[in-house]
Homo-oligomer: A and B are copies of this chain.
Amino acid sequence: MKSILSSLLINLILLSFSVCFAQENRAIISPETEDCLGCHDELHPGLVQSWNDGRHAHVSPQQAIEKNELSRRISTEVIDEKLLNTVVGCYECHSLNTDKHADSFEHNGYTINIVVSPNDCAVCHKTEVDEYAENIMSQAYSILMDNDLYMDLKKTITGHYGMGEEGFTIIDNNLKTDNEACLHCHGTIITVDGTITKETDFGELTFPKLKGWPNQGVGRINPDGSKGSCTSCHTRHDFSIETARKPYTCAECHKGPDVPAYKVYTASKHGNIYSSMGDNFDFDAVPWKIGEDFTAPTCATCHASLIVDQNYTVIAERTHKFNDRLAWRIFGAPYAHPHPISADLSIIKNAAGLPLATELNSDPVKKFLIDENEQRIRNEKMQKICISCHSTIWVENHFARLDNTISETNTMTVVGTNMLTQAWDKGYAHGLPQKANIFDEGIERDWTALWLFYANSTRFASAMGGGGDYGVFANGRYQMSEMLIKMHDWMKLQDQMNKKKK
C-alpha cells in the first residue's frame, strides 16, 4: 500500500517543503557554493541531495540567530558578516580555517580543506563545541591510546599473532586495522601524507593524501589539531537533529557487549514506547516539549537535549557535555566509580601506579573523581526529566536500585580479581607480578569478560530499566557469575595438576 501512496506523499512533501521554507524565506546560496555544486551535484548526487534535505541548505546564520532563545539552534553571538546571509553550503564549511588545516589545498581557484572539524563548526555552534571539549568522548583517542593497560588489551585484540618456539607471540598491528577496529568509534588521527594527482572528468586535479580517513569517531584528532567529529552524531550532509535524537545514532558505538546501551534501551519500556509509537513523535522540534513532542525518552532526551514542558519551562538545559547529568561512570574498567572530574583521563593513576580510577579492590581514587555533592547535583538534573513522567517514589527507588547494582557488580568483579591475583601468585598465569600482559591467557580473558561485558551490561540494564534479559541471561548476571565459576573450576584443575607434580 505504501508504494501506492508515494505519488500522493511526494506531492504533500513538495507542498509542505515549499510552505515551510517559504515561511523562513530560503536564504541565498553563496556564489562559491554555487561553484562547488556546479560539479559536485553531478559527481556526488547523493551527498548533495542529502545536504539539500537539511536545514543548512535553506537557512542563513542570520535567520538562525533571529529565533527566540529557546528555539535557537546556533549559539555563537557574533558571526562574520560574510557568512551571515547565505545558506551554510559546501564552501562555507570547507573553507573556514584553511590556514589551520594540514589538509588544505587549492581546488579550482579556492583554498579549501577536506575534513570539517569541531573548530570549524564552532563558528556558529560555539557553546556546543566548548561543552563537547569537556565531554570525555572528545578525549576518546587519548583515553584509549595513552593508557598503557588498555594498550596491552588492544595488543591482544588487534595484534598479529604468531607461533614461535615458546608458544604465542603477539606484536602490534598495523594502523589500518586499528583505524577500523577500536578507532572506528574512538577516532583516528587524520594526517596528510603528501598529495596525489588524479585524472578526473574535470581535468587533472591534485588532492592531499589523507591517512586515518575516513573516520567519524567521537575523539578524532583532526588535521587542524582539534578533537572530535560532530558528524559522529550529526550525520552528514543533512546534519538532521532528528537523526541525532534517534537511538540508532548512539547505537553505532553503544550496542555492546561492552556498552550495550542501545540493546538495553530496546528491551526497556522506554524503548518499547519509542519503537511502537515513535512515528508520532516530533524529532525536529526545538525546544523539545515533553508529552507533546514525545512520550518516551530516547538517548538524547536524558543525556543531551533541551527539554521543556507545555509552558516552555525548562526541564533540562541542552548540553554537549553529557556527563553533566551523570553521577557515575558505570562503564567499569574494571570497576564502576564516581564520574571523573576532568575529561582528560590520562592524568589518572591509582596507588599501585596503574592508569585506573580505582584500586584493584574497587576503591575509587577520589582525587580524580567528583564528590558526593556533585553526584547529587548531577542526579538531580537527570531526575528532573524522570519526574516529568514518574512519581518521586518511583524515581528514588529506581536510583537506589542502580546504586545497589553498582555496588554488587563491583563486588562480583573483586571476587574475580582476587582469583586472578591468586593465579598470578601461584604462577598458574602471568600477569602484574610478572610484568606480563594481563589479557593474553584464558583466565585473564574470563576476568576481562566478567567486567568488560557482564558487569557493564548488568549496570546498563539497571540504569536504563532495561529489564530482565540484559540484567540476567543476555550478558548479565548469569554470565557474570559463570565467569567466576569458570575461573574457580580452572583454579581447582591447576591446583590438582600442581599437587600431582610434587
A275 nearest CB across to chain B (Å): 4
Q: With contacts A176-B404, A180-B462, A393-B209 known, is A44 near B471, CB below 8 A?
A: no
Q: Which residues of A453-502 are within 8 A (CB) of B?
A: 453, 461-462, 467-469, 471-474, 476-478, 481-482, 484-486, 488-489, 492, 496-497, 500-501
Q: What residue in chain B is nearest A233 (Cβ atoms)?
A: B272
Q: What residue in chain B is nearest A19 (Cβ atoms)?
A: B8
A242 nearest CB across to chain B (Å): 5
CA distance A158 to B405 in the complex (A): 10
Contact status B241-A3, CB under 8 Å: yes
Q: Which residues of A223-246 are within 8 A (CB) of B?
A: 235, 238, 240-243, 246
Q: With contacts A397-B214, A440-B485, A500-B500 known, is A283 near B2, CB below 8 A?
A: yes
Chain B residues, CB < 8 A from A168: 484-485, 488
Is A161 close to B, CB under 8 A? yes
Is A329 close to B, CB under 8 A? no
Chain B residues, CB < 8 A from A484: 161, 168
Q: With contacts A180-B471, A266-B248 known, is A393 near B161, CB below 8 A?
A: no
A107 nearest CB across to chain B (Å): 11
A474 touches which of B198, B257, B497 (Cβ 8 Å): B257
Q: What residue in chain B is nearest A496 (Cβ atoms)?
A: B497
Binds B, one of A122-130, A347-355, A383-391: A383-391
Q: Which residues of A153-203 are within 8 A (CB) of B?
A: 156-163, 167-168, 173-174, 176-177, 179-182, 184-186, 196, 198
CA distance A364 to B161 in the complex (A): 21
Contact status A467-B292, CB under 8 Å: no
A166 nearest CB across to chain B (Å): 11
A390 touches which of B5, B47, B295 (Cβ 8 Å): B47
Chain B residues, CB < 8 A from A434: none
Q: Interface on chain A toward B: helix, strand, loop, or mixed SS?
A: helix
Is A401 close to B, CB under 8 A? yes
Binds B, one of A77-85, A330-338, A408-416: A408-416
Is A25 close to B, CB under 8 A? no
Chain B residues, CB < 8 A from A46: 290-291, 295, 388-389
Binds B, one of A10-18, A316-324, A369-377: A10-18
Is A442 close to B, CB under 8 A? yes
Chain B residues, CB < 8 A from A488: 167-168
Contact status A279-B177, CB under 8 Å: no
A-B pairs, 9 with minimum CB distance: A49-B291, A3-B284, A46-B389, A185-B468, A248-B275, A442-B489, A243-B276, A176-B404, A8-B16
Spell out A's residues near B (CB within 8 Å): 1-8, 10, 12-13, 15-17, 19-21, 41-50, 53, 114, 156-163, 167-168, 173-174, 176-177, 179-182, 184-186, 196, 198, 207, 209-210, 213-214, 216, 235, 238, 240-243, 246, 248-249, 251-253, 255-258, 266-269, 271-273, 275-277, 279-280, 282-285, 290-292, 295, 309-311, 387-394, 397-398, 400-401, 404-405, 408, 411-412, 415, 418-419, 440-442, 445, 452-453, 461-462, 467-469, 471-474, 476-478, 481-482, 484-486, 488-489, 492, 496-497, 500-501
A-B CB contact pairs (8 Å), 10 listed? A1-B280, A3-B241, A6-B282, A8-B12, A44-B389, A44-B391, A49-B310, A214-B397, A255-B267, A442-B486
